[in-house]
Structure 1
């Protein structure tokens, strides 16, 4: 049975707010997860199929019941199709985020995106040149319009490859060409993936999975990379800046507004509205000391990276943040937003507002934001939040905030190294830094909240492995104190010396989950500098607590790019040992990297260390034995 006394988080604010929610009679994600037990074993293994109406079908993993669906699809086909559809959905979500930003860029160019502007003209010009847009003697808005049009072509079917695959090392691009993995168009690859998985189309599990990798690459080197680059143009390239994290960033004497989701188009305008002197004066007239904007999940990470806005929590904290009673309004856009939030908020005074034409939620007021009206809408909803301050009941803010530093874009990292990756390469060659691991992904109620993130990170940095992270894990490691320069004391002697010399933390916050592509750009720069492929580098990836379809896509484009990637939870593939074997070993012969699944972060740390030391050995660098 579900025990409310059980510690469900490694964080103080998580445990204390969970107890508060229980006391208030508020149902949370953990209670709903418990109520679902036992979860469907066929679904966990990927052996159930509902693609056509002849089903739903399932295959008996013990060989005693049906071994094919009604159409004749066996376990290999069903498992592969299900996984491919997860990857297609994940690629669509992040790539559609990128499309939204391209439309804003086009709106800035033609004057219809009121309140938005070009914040980094230098990056606009660099990216335009990369896309073949001439910039000489052209005004920034003209360049922006032409670049937006060029990027829109990446979403279609008129090109042989999405433009930014040229950022990958030549050796990596040759691998993609050899196996037919080069992504041709962002929407094209998702559409073809859905077509192939329709009943009666592609029934070869191997070719299905190859297309899934091409689909994932269309996001990683296409839609997501576009999203990050255009965000930098519109909102500024992130630079290191101090911030605060955990539930303690809420303030009892101020109007607290929380932004949640993934779309900086909304949160950017909300942050601007919170600076309105008229609204601040109204807040004071209502008895508050001011307006306090904080974030949860990735739209918060976007603001943290560029504005130093504080982060209240990650995915599994979103319900608990409401239970403080201190949130006057939560403004959401899309992705990773639990439909339960409106119901939870109803137990307090919190007003919930949804803003996207693509995402509506129960028990939320809907105020649709578009580029032409976002500035006006933001002022309206912030005013409503201020008006709601008077309706507060008791407030419980369980902890003091933790200091952190965020904002490590690729430009910021290279800048800190003197404008070249050479010092980082020298530190790796000298063994001061053994290698690097990108830790990404979400939270999952199947795993103790933030335990996988914090434990894995601690074990890696104490063994001289640099960690870069994004998304929900970035909040977890910041709360654990890993994201201040003083945290170098927790690192091994080599990494500690490097971090101390550069005054940086041993864990670098690289942004929201769409910003995983910054990691791809960074490892590509390292590979080019060394004259090797990405798969040769002493680097690895990890998603210790992943849950979403986007995470499957991210993991797939990392592996397809040559980065061996660890997963905490097992994907729903164990119904086909052929699929399992391909993903965990067979892909080595195709893309030079594989997946590995290990729920225990202590054991995962050993696996990642062995992977990195093996890469060092293959490069002719000194290698440590890992026991």
Structure 2
């Protein structure tokens, strides 16, 4: 049965997105919002987490019988156990995604160490030696390659089963580590915790919901303080530490006169090579011979964030903009690696001249062109990608090209190192303005878009509400493009901040929202929180800080949220995970974790109301530290 389409104004807050949605409807192209409407209403059992298909006696779904008594699954598992099992597997999936990204970077470092690649190299020897020393590796009177080899081995060990504590736990305040040990959630190894979660949630294993939830926390911590942190640090070592730079964002970064290539996914191993190939004079000349003025590389989602941070390439859009970028008719190729890539992009690309190119064997898409990238020949493979895009340009129908707006300016590149450099090499200036109340607290707004929520309304709404309260906002992932389009990634954005925050940002010449990278780079934020806690001699849970993911959708977002909470950072979510079918699990997530780890989740969809609740906690934390509220 067909349904009347929702008004475009209800789907997104952005003019460039609205124009492309209108074009998609005119041209009969289905988008994520159409499919969301087709799938509604969703299964209430699944939404509550009360379905189980973990064995072949099911699938089971749990409902309330007369008298209020809950059914049990065929095996006898109750609703609490089933919800906890599903949540645990959800977290394991997210942890696997980000941590496997980290493993890919170790493999690149291994190829460098073993001399199996000339395309990749160690760009930041100083950081290599600093990170190695931090992990207890001797660096003096040793070559760069010798240090890199031992660092590689140390990182691989964080994925195994032999350690009692992952390497980067050394960055965590001792009081927090001791709490993890007491609770039995100290992460030991990425693969170990994920495998154990899959084992625990097999039928006939862990049938105590709180116990399962504790291991979910341990699994998430292994991601945050090992897999993701390794991915971030090794990306910096290989591709360079991000520093502040200017760029542009929105669909206006596409160029009618050029060959437009969009990189999408999460891993810079592919996108860095594509960008390098697109800048080669021979390929630029080939593009000109095809009738284009040059080659333009733009970013989508987190691969875009990686290149934005280090190379300053422009951002075309975030998660819900990916289909609409193709709808412009101006994109010759979308080159993807993995994660957050909608399979629908193959079909949308097929409606135009656009080539959809996959590069990772773990993320192949039916109907796509697959060019497998490896460490030995990435330059040649990237050149092939660019040549395919040039060929596609010759097939472009200029009559279907519609680029909806002019791009906006953004500022990017705030790694922990660049922040410290801006502060003169010490956290002390930052702590002084916090103590003075000019910056009252911090919030990292991270994560995704979700068609359940008007596109970017909650991301931007929460950021603006917090800034008015003199709360500095950090952004990663898809929030980056949202904040940029809202003018919050430019120094001029201080006009939307409170007086204290505006004074600090104006003095430093920085925007009120600091972009810290892709979603894997949330590891930068927990590292920064740990460093501030150490400097103050307190636990992370004592700090006036928050995390938030107002429009989250993915398993990775829940893993991020849980490792933040388990580290002592409370997290706001715009929609709940699929746990509401269990009061035990829900109560633990929304309050019970506070007693265990000093933080919990807040589910509040309204940005203004969420900001008010978050501010109340920040006031309480400031008072507890002996500061003015």
Q: TM-score scaled by structure 2?
A: 0.98
Q: CA deviation at 1:110?
A: 1.1
- Counterpart check, 1:32 vs 2:38: no
> What is the CA-CA distance between 1:12 and the residue it aligns to?
1.0
Say which of 335, 340, 343 aligns to 2:344: 340
Displacement after TM superposition at 1:423 (Å): 0.9
The DSSP-based 3-state class of the residue aligned with 1:203 is: coil
1:114-137 Cα offsets, whole Å, 9 max, x none, are 300111000001111122222222
Residue 516 of structure 1: aligned partner:
522
Match of 1:46 among 24, 46, 49: 49
1:145 positional shift: 1.8
Residue 93 of structure 1, CA deviation: 0.6
Matched, 1:303 2:298: no
Structure 2 residue 614 is matched with structure 1 residue 611:
no
Aligned equivalent of 1:257, options 261, 265, 279? 261
- 1:558 corresponds to 2:564: yes
1:111 match: 115
Q: Distance in 1 between matches of 2:76 and 2:549?
A: 35
Q: Give the equivalent residue in structure 2 for 1:365.
A: 369
Q: Is the 8 A contact 2:330 2:401 kept in 1?
A: yes
1:241-300 CA-to-partner distances (Å, cap 9, x unmatched) read: 000000000000000000000011000101110111000001111111110000000000
Deviations 1:494-525 (A, max 9, x none): 00000000000000000000000100011111
Does the Cα contact within 8 Å between 1:17 and 1:324 map onto a contact in 2?
yes
**Aligned-pair distance for 1:438?**
0.5
User: Compared with structure 1, are the counterparts of its residues 227 and 367 closer, same or farther at alpha carbon in structure 2 (3 Å cutoff)?
Assistant: same
Contact 1:4 1:22 in 2 (8 A): no
Alpha-carbon distance in structure 1 between the residues aligned to 2:118 and 2:84: 45
Per the alignment, residue 490 of structure 2 pairs with 484
Whole-angstrom CA distance in 2 between matches of 1:51 and 1:368 = 33
Distance in 1 (alpha carbons) for counterparts of 2:495 and 2:605: 27
What corresponds to 2:132 in structure 1?
Answer: 128
Q: Which moved more, 1:61-70 or 1:11-20?
A: 61-70
Match status 1:570 vs 2:571:
no
Deviations 1:520-563 (A, max 9, x none): 01111111111100000000110000000001100000000000
> What is the CA distance between 1:143 and its match in structure 2?
1.7
Q: Is the 8 A contact 1:4 1:19 kept in 2?
A: no
Q: Show the counterpart of 2:392.
A: 388
Aligned-pair CA distance for 1:85 = 0.3
How far residue 577 of structure 1 moved from its aligned partner, in angstroms, is: 0.6
Gaps of 5+ in 1: none
Q: Quick check: 1:229 aligned with 2:229? A: no
Provide the C-alpha distance between the structure 2 equivalents of 1:363 and 1:28, rounded to a whole number of angstroms. Answer: 18
The residue aligned with 2:12 is 9
Equivalences for residues 487-506 of structure 1 within 5 A: 487-506=493-512
How far apart are the structure 2 equivalents of 1:397 and 1:544? 29
Say if 1:257 and 1:327, in contact at 8 Å, map to a contact too: yes
Q: Report the CA distance between 1:486 and its aligned residue.
A: 1.0
Matched position secondary structure for 2:469: coil
Q: Secondary structure at the match of 2:410?
A: strand
| Residue 431 (1) aligns with residue 437 (2) | yes
User: What does 1:120-519 align with in structure 2 at a 5 Å threshold?
Assistant: 120-393=124-397, 394-519=400-525
8 Å CA contact 1:441, 1:470 repeated in 2: yes
Alpha-carbon offset, residue 613 of structure 1: 1.1
Determine helix, strand or coil for the equivalent of 1:391. coil
TM-aligned CA distance change 1:254 to 1:447, over 3 Å? same
Range that drifts further, 443-452 or 11-20: 11-20
1:531 to 513, 531, 537: 537
Compute the displacement of 1:62 (Å).
5.9
Structure 1, residues 161-194: CA drift from partner, whole Å, max 9, x if none? Answer: 1100110111111111111110011100000011
Taking structure 1 as the reference length, the TM-score comes to 0.98
Note if contact 2:540-2:567 (Cα within 8 Å) is conserved in structure 1: yes
Give the unaligned 5+ runs of structure 2.
Answer: none
Alpha-carbon distance in 1 for matches of 2:96, 2:36: 27
1:37 shift after superposition? 1.2
1:590 shift after superposition: 0.4
**DSSP 3-state at the match of 2:361:** coil
Moved more, 503-512 or 416-425: 416-425
Which residue is 2:600 aligned to? 594
User: 3-state SS of the aligned residue for 1:38?
Assistant: coil
- Residues in 2 aligned to 1:535 and 1:65: alpha-carbon distance in whole angstroms: 38
Supply the distance in 2 between the matched residues of 1:57 and 1:273 (Cα, whole angstroms): 52
Cα deviation 1:551-580 (Å, max 9, x = unaligned): 110000000000011000111111001111
Q: Cα deviations across residues 342-396 of structure 1 (Å, max 9, x unaligned)?
A: 1000111100100001011122110000111211100111111112111111210
Asked if 2 retains the 8 angstrom alpha-carbon contact of 1:114 and 1:375, the reply is no
CA contact (8 A) 1:558 1:565 kept: yes
Is contact 1:2-1:31 (8 Å) kept?
no
- Superposition deviation, residue 607 in structure 1: 1.3
Contact 1:540 1:611 in 2 (8 A): no
**For the residues of structure 2 that align with 1:554 and 1:62, how far apart are their CA atoms?**
36
2:77 aligned residue: 73
Q: Aligned pair in 2 of structure 1 residues 622, 65: CA closer, same or farther (>3 Å)?
A: closer
- Answer yes or no: is the 8 Å Cα contact 2:449–2:552 preserved in 1: yes
Are 1:331 and 1:355, in contact at CA under 8 Å, matched by a contact in 2? yes
Measured in 2, the distance between the counterparts of 1:66 and 1:172 equals 38
Query: For residue 90 of structure 1, what is the aligned residue in structure 2?
Result: 94
Number of matched residues?
A: 623
Change (3 A) 1:144 1:65: same
Question: Which whole-Å deviations, capped at 9, do the CAs of 1:73-102 have from their partners, x for residues lacking one?
Answer: 001000000000000110011000000000
Q: Judge conservation of contact 1:213–1:556 (CA < 8 Å) in 2.
A: yes
Q: Deviations over 1:212-236 (max 9, x none)?
A: 1000000000000000000000000
Aligned partners of 2:284 and 2:294 also within 8 Å: yes
Instruction: Measure how far apart 1:401 and its partner are.
Output: 0.1
Q: Aligned residue for 2:22?
A: 19
